[in-house]
Structure 1
Amino acid sequence: MLDFLEQVAEATMSLTALVKLLVFTTAVLQTEASHSAINEAKVTALCTVANQLSKTGEVAAYKYNQLKEAALASVQAAAVANQAAAATQDFNTSALYKAIALGAEKCLEDTLNDITTLTPLAIKAITNGAKTAGHIAELTELLRKATKMKSGGAGYCLGSATAATEADSVTDLSCPPEFIEAAHPAESLDKTIVTAGGYSNLDGEATFDSNTGKTSCGFLIGSSGNAANFWMAQTPPAQSVMAGFMTLKPHNSPNSEKATLTKLNTGAEAGKFSSPDSTPKKVFNAITDLTTHSVPGCGRTADEVLAQVAEGNSALEILTDVLASQPNYKAEGAAMAAAKAIRKTAAEGADSGIGEKIKDKIKQARTERLEGAQVTTKQLKDAQQPQGARRSLLLSHLNKRQQLAKLASQLTAEKSKHQSASKQLPNADACKSKTGDDCKDGCRWEGTGENKQCVVDKTYKPKQEEGAKDNKVTNTTGSNSFVINKTPLLIAFLLF
């Protein structure tokens, strides 16, 4: 009987122990199954930031387009002003137009020099913006794929308090795609996301508590060296991920783990974080340096450049400096006063809107231009394609050089004639000593009888030397063709 009671008691104790074990095991399983997951809405907010960071190159492209436009406008303005200077007969006005052309070239120089300033800013912002966007998108995709691998009531990493994410791709979460097919220049990133004060939608907490038994993310669960767990410590230290935009704090106790977005929606002033101590802040500042960089230039069109240079100081300073080198403008302030007077005259005495008035006068100048094989004369306001404009500039240059060559040839011939005449004409004593038929070649008989004498013939024209005959100026090709000298033909084309 005693043995029977002892057996019953032993069985009862074993059953009690079994029940306790089952209760404990169930509690443990339930506890692990109710660990927190990461809030999909918060990750999506972070992905919108990543999407903007991936567009940093578009801002750089916009800046370089500005440089290209400013440079092209300066080149076109200089070409127009140079043609006007060559076509204008008034000496002072021509000098002003030439100074404006040189001022436009200075605009081009400033624009091109800015490449050395913009390039390091662009490289820094593009490299770090794209790299950071990649960090965010890659871990987001890992969380999404880990969630998609769940089966039945198993846990998930990304979703809401009651359901796993339904995103089929990382782009469904607003992250940038793995490969960006096309990019378009943009003046700035989305100012509602990347604001002057920070990243507007990054405001902290990113996890939620759930007791549904379906949320359970291995990236957040700690353990005591359990090889089946991601973290092999019960409470591993907080881990910065996604380039510092998110912090994971795993824990072995349910709902004690945290995934936190770094709070970055405030703290920046005028687009910059002071003393940036993290990657997100450094990236933010680098992007601000790029977006706020002002591309230099005197305008985005040739007309804008002409007007700005004409009214500004660059052309005036060039003209003043050149005048100051001349004897008539050595007095203090004389060169500047003369330059201003020349400009005011060109602007028809106007005190305001000087740049626009001079620009309009420049474009009214008529110049020869090459259109195909035809030479025409038109006003500069009649726009010409760059290819034609370049050829018209060369045409104008050659015409001017040939005009100079013609004048030089005429002066040389005239000088030679006078030198020959002075050599061939005899003086009075030479004529007086001549007798009979020798009184010729610059001498002539004058008077009769006893008063007849051989004197200098002031109407005598010496015979032209053979060399001078071959040096005549010739034009055989019409009014629009180049006037050249026979003798220096080859040299003229080589030099001019």
Structure 2
Amino acid sequence: MTFRKTEATSIAIILFTAVFRTGTPSGFAISNTGWKKLCEMSETLVKLPGMAKGKLGLFTEAKKTYMETALMLQIATNMNPVSNNTVLYDALATLAAQKAATLADQTVGVINKAVQAATLATEQTGRIAEYIEMLAKASGSTGSTGFCLANSGGSSNDDTAALASKCIIKDRTYIAHTTDLDTSEFDGSGFKKFSTETNAKDSTATDKCVLYQNSGTQRAGMLYQHTTPVDHLQGLLKITASAGATAAIPQLSNIAANGVVTGSKTLGELYTTIASLNNIKAAAYTKTPSSIINELSADAKAVQEIRNQLALKTPELEASALDKAATELKDKLGQKNDAGETTVWAALKDLQVKGSEENSATDTKLVNLRDLGKLTKVLTYYYTQRRSELEKAKEALKQKEAQINTEKSKTATQICNEKTDADTCRKDKNCKYDDKKKEGPKCVLSEEGEKAAAKEAANQEGKDDKTNTSTTGSNSFVIKKTPLLLAVLFLA
């Protein structure tokens, strides 16, 4: 019996010792300053997804506004094609369309920057959140002396504060915004809140967390069974488990120069993607039709585009005349009225248009139509109207030509005979009025008219592309087809 009691006692002592050793913390806790420093990084990075959405949206909206402005200017041209401002409207419309095309070409690059920044920032905040949450929940039941995140005194677990901190992701709804990161947290050199290396080891709680052992032995129950330095959170926290164990958060305020990271730096890739997004300045892409017209009116390319439009509309002008006219119009383009409005904006801002609504006769202020679909409807309305006017003009011209040809084919005798009024007849030197005549037309050829008729009969008909002259007193005229064709081209 004695032997059995001794054996049982020995076994109990061994089990107690094993349990005691297994449950005894043998590593340090992360200091209160240390884990809160990690949260400061999260507070910066959590702004990036919303910024990516906002700046991408701003970029897209700027492209749309340039397109809207180009359409507004084209509408103004089609409303009044003979306006003195037409050349200016068309020149600025071309420049606005070019700007929109440039932004469209840049869209893929901006999307890549936005997605990359949002992805890497979200990835890192996720790492930090999981890390802090794991350590906060590492302590045992109430009364446990072990913990991995220390309070400010290093005497107990700070799990409640850690789990309530901004480190932990509680809301994945990212509201779009265009606010750059404050220079107190991010600039061209690095992450400014990390201006010095931070000691993340709590010197008081040195034997509280089995996660970070002090001995470096390969004892069961230890997570790190070596003394090799380990990078956590992509290097944001570096831990060495040994008799002189350390935990440090590196200095990150000087990892770049003018926004560029050279060489291999801790969080260098993350910094670069944030910098590329942060450098898309909201002011450069905040556009309105007014600001765009003012911007383009001062554009150095405007004078050349004005010259191009003049060359299209007045091909007969020589180069020197085109240059002079373009310069004069560019000067006009830059002029401002007493309200500070440029020439084109002053003419455009109060313009009322039709065709945007279901009832096409409804008037709408042009510059308030911030809708590509409605602007296209208005442009179509005025373009169709202009085409209709052109067709009518062409028909009128056709009828006029027919009338001219009819007049041209009449003989001098017929011209006189058609005059039934005595006064009208006598006003034509080729005619005379015979009031004694009982039958037939009383307006007949005068002696001078008979000579003209004889001469007319002797002349051959001119060809269509040559000048045809009919001399019959007040009916004398010169007919040329070239001006008629020019009239058609002008209307077109």
How far apart, in 2, do the equivalents of 1:268 and 1:385 lie? 42
| Aligned twin of 1:270 | 258
How far apart, in 1, do the equivalents of 2:284 and 2:323 lie? 25
Contact 1:239 1:249 in 2 (8 A): yes
| Aligned twin of 1:472 | none
**Where in structure 2 are the equivalents of 1:175-194 lying within 5 Å?**
175-177=167-169, 180-194=172-186
1:258 aligned onto 2:246: yes
How far apart, in 2, do the equivalents of 1:105 and 1:174 lie? 45
Work out which of the residue numbers 206, 217, 221 in structure 2 matches 1:228: 221
How far apart are residue 317 of structure 1 and its match?
A: 2.1
1:101 aligned onto 2:90: no
How far apart, in 2, do the equivalents of 1:421 and 1:412 lie? 14
How far apart, in 2, do the equivalents of 1:117 and 1:95 lie? 34
How far apart, in 2, do the equivalents of 1:183 and 1:416 lie? 70
| Aligned twin of 1:248 | 239
Q: Secondary structure at the match of 2:247?
A: strand
Work out which of the residue numbers 187, 206, 212 in structure 1 matches 2:200: 206
User: Runs of 5+ in structure 2 lacking a partner?
Assistant: 1-12, 415-442, 458-471, 476-491
Contact 1:193 1:200 in 2 (8 A): yes
User: Runs of 5+ in structure 1 lacking a partner?
Assistant: 1-20, 429-443, 462-495
Q: Secondary structure at the match of 1:72?
A: helix
Aligned AA (1:274): T
Using a 3 Å threshold, how does the CA distance of structure 1 residues 358 and 292 change in structure 2: closer, same or farther?
Answer: same
Aligned AA (1:341): E
TM-score in terms of structure 1 length: 0.70
How far apart, in 1, do the equivalents of 2:444 and 2:165 lie? 118
| Aligned twin of 1:471 | none
Aligned AA (2:392): K
How far apart are residue 303 of structure 1 and its match?
A: 1.0
Using a 3 Å threshold, how does the CA distance of structure 1 residues 393 and 250 change in structure 2: closer, same or farther?
Answer: same
| Aligned twin of 1:491 | none
| Aligned twin of 1:45 | 37
Work out which of the residue numbers 389, 392, 400 in structure 2 matches 1:406: 392
Using a 3 Å threshold, how does the CA distance of structure 1 residues 415 and 228 change in structure 2: closer, same or farther?
Answer: same
How far apart are residue 272 of structure 1 and its match?
A: 3.7
| Aligned twin of 1:61 | 53
How far apart, in 1, do the equivalents of 2:206 and 2:406 lie? 120
How far apart, in 1, do the equivalents of 2:213 and 2:260 lie? 33
Q: Give deviations 1:266-321, integer Å, cap 9, x for gaps.
A: 4433344332x145122112211111134796851111112211232344321213
Q: Give deviations 1:443-487, integer Å, cap 9, x for gaps.
A: x98589xx999967969x9xxxxxxxxxxxxxxxxxxxxxxxxxx
Provide the identity percentage. Answer: 16
Work out which of the residue numbers 324, 335, 357 in structure 2 matches 1:337: 324
Q: Secondary structure at the match of 2:305?
A: helix
Aligned AA (1:246): L
Give me the CA root mean square deviation: 4.2
Contact 1:34 1:210 in 2 (8 A): no
TM-score in terms of structure 2 length: 0.71
How far apart, in 1, do the equivalents of 2:176 and 2:236 lie? 27
Count of residue pairs the alignment pairs up: 412
Work out which of the residue numbers 107, 111, 115 in structure 2 matches 1:115: 107
Contact 2:412 2:452 in 1 (8 A): no
**Where in structure 2 are the equivalents of 1:298-317 lying within 5 Å?**
300-317=287-304
How far apart are residue 34 of structure 1 and its match?
A: 6.3
Contact 2:229 2:239 in 1 (8 A): yes
How far apart, in 2, do the equivalents of 1:224 and 1:454 lie? 132
1:156 aligned onto 2:140: no
| Aligned twin of 1:328 | 317
Using a 3 Å threshold, how does the CA distance of structure 1 residues 296 and 216 change in structure 2: closer, same or farther?
Answer: closer
Q: Give deviations 1:113-170, integer Å, cap 9, x for gaps.
A: 22122122223222222212222221221111113x2553432111135333333475
Aligned AA (1:134): G
Using a 3 Å threshold, how does the CA distance of structure 1 residues 211 and 374 change in structure 2: closer, same or farther?
Answer: closer
Aligned AA (2:324): A
Q: Secondary structure at the match of 1:219?
A: coil
Q: Secondary structure at the match of 1:260?
A: strand
Using a 3 Å threshold, how does the CA distance of structure 1 residues 380 and 223 change in structure 2: closer, same or farther?
Answer: closer
How far apart are residue 189 of structure 1 and its match?
A: 3.0
How far apart, in 1, do the equivalents of 2:198 and 2:99 lie? 48
Using a 3 Å threshold, how does the CA distance of structure 1 residues 409 and 223 change in structure 2: closer, same or farther?
Answer: same
How far apart, in 1, do the equivalents of 2:161 and 2:239 lie? 23
Aligned AA (2:202): F
